[in-house]
Amino acid sequence: MAEKTPGLPSWANVSSKRRAHIERVADVVRDWADRLGTSKRERSRWLSAVYYHDAIKDASNAELRKLVPTERYIAALKHGPAAAVLAERFGEYDEGILDAVRYHSIGYAHWDMAGKILYMADYLEPGRKFRSEWREELRDYVVADPDSALFEVARARMKWLVESGWPIPRETLGFWNSIVKGD
Ligand SMILES: [Fe+2]
Ligand SMILES: [Fe+2]
């Protein structure tokens, strides 16, 4: 039986700009999987998480609220949990993939590699316009030392979050502490 190639799910609702971002994240992940000698199955898990993660980021706030009725997350943080709800509804049962998608904006202490890879690739994909050289170096660093690269990405994102003055979600704090302690 031919192996299913991960791609955008049938329920995706994305602009062409968003689709281009998702494809760039997928390209980064394919490159890392090749260079890390990742198994086909694991590579496919990582790519499933990539294709789900922003698949309904362009949906209306009302639609996102229907999928994620909690007031806990501001609108910008709802598309991850909402995508996880839809992925599960459409047959995804891999909890590691669902956690990768659900928490991709905020971090999660109990991620497996799918979550960590998505978190790094989403931030390090080459289309983003800040700190291009530093992020390019980090893309190589992921292949040499994924744990240290994850720490660097999380540190940069935490720094930004603190400086923004936004409240820090408890999942983000848990994620940060799990990395610092080397769990
Ligand atoms: Fe996102
Ligand atoms: Fe993204």
Kindly report the average pLDDT of the chain as a whole number: 93
- Cβ-based neighbours of 130, under 8 Å, separated by 6 or more: none
Q: What is the architecture, at CATH level 2, of domain 16-180?
A: Orthogonal Bundle (1.10)
Instruction: Name the phi and psi angles at 79, rounded to 5.
Output: -70, -25
Where residue 1 falls among pLDDT bands split at 50, 70, 90? Answer: very low
Task: Kindly identify the ligand whose nearest atom is closest to the C-alpha of 83.
Answer: 1
pLDDT at residue 6, rounded to an integer:
83
The token pair that represents 46 in the structure block: 């990582």
Give the ligand with the smallest distance to the CA of 104.
Answer: 1
- How far, in Å, from the CA of 81 to the mean position of ligand 2? 13
Locate all alpha helices (DSSP H) within 105-145, ordered by sequence. 113-124, 132-144
Q: How many CB atoms lie within 10 A of CB 131?
A: 12
Neighbours of ion ligand 2 (CB under 5 A): 54, 122
CA of 7 to the centre of ligand 2 (A): 14
Q: Report CA-CA distances (Å) from 66 to 13, 15, 59, 74.
A: 15, 21, 11, 14
How far apart are the CA of 63 and the centre of ligand 1, in A?
16
User: Per residue in 44-59, pLDDT tens?
Assistant: 999 999 999 999 999 9
Measured from the alpha carbon of residue 101, the closest ligand is 1
The 10s digit of each residue's pLDDT in 76-126 is 789 999 999 999 999 999 999 999 999 999 999 999 999 999 999 999 999
Residue 28 above 80 pLDDT?
yes
- Could you tell me if 82 and 59 are in contact, meaning their C-beta atoms sit under 8 angstroms apart? yes
Selection from 118, 175, 59 nearest residue 68 by Cα? 59
Centre of ligand 1 to C-alpha 35, Å, is 25
CA of 104 to the centre of ligand 1 (A): 6
Q: Which of 36, 81, 37 is nearest to 57 (CA)?
A: 81
CA–centroid distance, 100 to ligand 2, in Å, is: 12
Residue 179 C-alpha to ligand 1 middle, in angstroms?
A: 21
Percent of the chain with pLDDT over 70: 96
Q: State the pTM of this model.
A: 0.94
**Of the candidates 129, 171, 137, 170, which has an alpha carbon nearest to the alpha carbon of residue 153?**
137
Burial class, 77, CB count within 10 angstroms (exposed 0-12 / middle 13-18 / buried 19+): middle
Q: What local confidence, expressed as pLDDT, does residue 24 receive?
A: 98
- C-alpha dihedral (165, 175, 12, 72), degrees to nearest 10: -50
Gap from CA of 1 to ligand 2 centroid (Å): 31
Q: Tell me the domain boundaries of the chain.
A: 16-180
